[in-house]
Amino acid sequence: MENVFRSKLIYIAFVSILGVGIVLTACSPASAPAPGSSGKELVMTTPAKGTESAPSAKASEKAAPTEAKPSVSGEPIKIGVVTSLTGSQANFGQAQKRGYEIALGEINAKGGVDRRKLELVYEDDASKPETAMSATEKLITQDKVPAMMSPYSSAATLAAAGVADKYETPFLVATSAADNITEQGYKWVFRICAPSSVYASTMVDFIADIAKPQTLAIVFENTNFGTSTAGPAKEIAEKKGIKVVAYEAYKAGAPDFKPLITKVKSANPDVVFFVSYLMDATLLMRQSKELDFNPKMYTAGGAGFSMAEFVSESGAGRAAEYTLSVTQWTADAKWPGAKDFDAKFTELYNVAPEYHAAEAYAAVYVMADAIKRAGTLDKTKLRDALANTDMNTAFGPIKFNAQGQNSHPMLITQVQKGTFVTVWPTDAASATPVFPTPPWSQR
């Protein structure tokens, strides 16, 4: 009986304490919403199957500041990202994603945006423009993202930009260079990188200044990026009195370029200008060596000729030596944070970054800055904040004109002893260009 009485006393005491706790909780003030929170639930989504995972916890620790991380609260701010995680341009998509992830880690380690974590929601376009369109529509209409980051390639970005503009969703282009992306009259599209016409003008100016050639051959893939770079290069070269003796388009991903190279070689150009992605750039240089094609200078419009893989043994290897390429960014550029980004990227991924990664890295900071200044995820206010961007980044200054285009300076690099070095303009150069290019038999 004593045990039963004791059990009842314990039960009564427990119920009493519980009741007091409930009353106190009910009387307490509600927690304030996170700054900038709309109060609406944000639906979380899972990145597309097959996407590259974010840097490991160990890698993130390397990238994060050593001081204590500020706290974050509220629902994450989701930004949609479409890029090439599979398909022929997956190497570029991987570089882009790595740049995004480093910036994302840094921003969230410092408290996110107004104490809300920033989240990137990925969709794979499989290196296909039509997939990029559907992926963009999904992110906007189903995942309800308030803003988008563009795909890698110009063809995919042009397709996706139309969808974003239709749904009145801010769309930030990091890497796609075709001029026509910002020539459609879109009100919701902004681009931080220089357009293809600047690739062309920068390289032709360099060629005229250093090589002073009489003749030029232009070889380019028949894509939006290829044609939008080759066309202006031809026009500018002819205005400078350089005769274009070969102007050859080819199908991207062709298995053999020997007939094309033989044709161009027969025109005997002083300089050749390639516009190609990685696989084609690799094969073009390897087969140029096999056919003993010896122009005085090999030049290129960035893209595949600027990738770290291009100079590796799995790429063009020694055949990459002395090639010159226009680029949007180098680690020794005199922009705040450029060297730090290079060091962090190299430590995390054991390979030096090229300009596509730097563009993506800067783009996340531009978007975060716009969200903070907008003070809301309202799309119109966010678009207006992007339009008024004026900031310095590791990729250089960012300020958009009325068409949404940033004015960005370009550089020229050359592969010297297996490494990309900046050779032009002279005030930014870390080395002198090797010219003329030694014949294959003398290397």
User: Are the CB atoms for 100 and 81 separated by under 8 Å?
Assistant: yes
Per-residue pLDDT of the chain (443 residues; tens, 9 = 90+): 334 334 433 343 433 433 433 333 333 333 333 333 333 333 333 333 333 433 333 343 344 444 455 556 679 999 999 999 999 999 999 999 999 999 999 999 999 999 999 999 999 999 999 999 999 999 999 999 999 999 999 999 999 999 999 999 999 999 999 999 999 999 999 999 999 899 999 999 999 999 999 999 999 999 888 999 999 999 999 999 999 999 999 999 999 999 999 999 999 999 999 999 899 999 999 999 999 999 999 999 988 998 888 999 999 999 999 999 999 999 888 889 999 999 999 999 999 898 999 999 999 999 999 999 999 999 999 999 999 999 999 999 999 999 999 999 999 999 999 999 999 988 888 899 999 999 999 99
With respect to residue 32, please indicate whether it lies within any of the assigned structural domains.
no
With respect to residue 126, please indicate whether it lies within any of the assigned structural domains.
yes
- Given this model, what pLDDT does residue 74 score? 79
Domain co-membership, 214 together with 91: no
What gap in Å lies between CA 123 and CA 79, rounded to an integer? 11
Domain co-membership, 395 together with 418: no
**Which amino acid makes up residue 258?**
K
Domain co-membership, 265 together with 372: no
With respect to residue 26, please indicate whether it lies within any of the assigned structural domains.
no
Q: Is the dihedral of CA 406, 96, 161, 80 positive or negative?
A: negative
Residues 201-252 pLDDT 10s: 999 999 999 999 999 999 999 988 899 999 999 999 999 999 999 999 999 9
Domain co-membership, 309 together with 422: yes
What gap in Å lies between CA 179 and CA 325, rounded to an integer? 19
- Given this model, what pLDDT does residue 73 score? 67
Kindly report the CATH number assigned to the domain that includes residue 114.
3.40.50.2300
Residues 6+ apart with CB under 8 A from 289: 319, 440
Buried b (16+ CB within 10 A) or exposed e, 225-251: bbbbbbbbbbebbeeeebebbbbebbe
With respect to residue 52, please indicate whether it lies within any of the assigned structural domains.
no
Residues 145-154 pLDDT 10s: 999 999 999 9
What gap in Å lies between CA 50 and CA 411, rounded to an integer? 35
Domain co-membership, 121 together with 110: yes
Domain co-membership, 422 together with 308: yes
Residues 6+ apart with CB under 8 A from 208: 240, 242
Residues 51-63 pLDDT 10s: 343 333 334 334 4
Closest CA to 398 of 358, 363, 353: 363
- Given this model, what pLDDT does residue 308 score? 85
With respect to residue 12, please indicate whether it lies within any of the assigned structural domains.
no
Domain co-membership, 187 together with 215: no
Domain co-membership, 262 together with 390: no
Domain range enclosing 346:
73-194+334-399
Helix axes 154-166, 129-141, angle to 10 degrees: 30
What gap in Å lies between CA 102 and CA 356, rounded to an integer? 13
Closest CA to 132 of 64, 207, 194, 224: 224
With respect to residue 15, please indicate whether it lies within any of the assigned structural domains.
no
Residue 248 has which token pair?
């050859």
Domain co-membership, 320 together with 188: no
Q: Dihedral (C-alpha) 161, 163, 167, 173: value to the nearest 10 degrees?
A: -20
With respect to residue 54, please indicate whether it lies within any of the assigned structural domains.
no
Domain co-membership, 274 together with 391: no
With respect to residue 304, please indicate whether it lies within any of the assigned structural domains.
yes
Number of domains in the chain: 2
- Whether the model pTM is above 0.85: no
Domain co-membership, 312 together with 423: yes
What gap in Å lies between CA 65 and CA 404, rounded to an integer? 33
Residues 6+ apart with CB under 8 A from 339: 331, 332
Q: How many helices (H) and strands (E) does the chain have?
A: 12, 14
Residue 183 has which token pair?
């020539």
- Given this model, what pLDDT does residue 225 score? 86
- Given this model, what pLDDT does residue 8 score? 39
Domain co-membership, 166 together with 313: no
- Given this model, what pLDDT does residue 224 score? 87
Question: Distances in Å between the alpha carbon of 269 and those of 67, 167, 214, 273, 377?
Answer: 57, 48, 8, 10, 54
Query: Quick check: helix, strand or coil at residue 121?
Result: strand
Residue 383 has which token pair?
């678009």
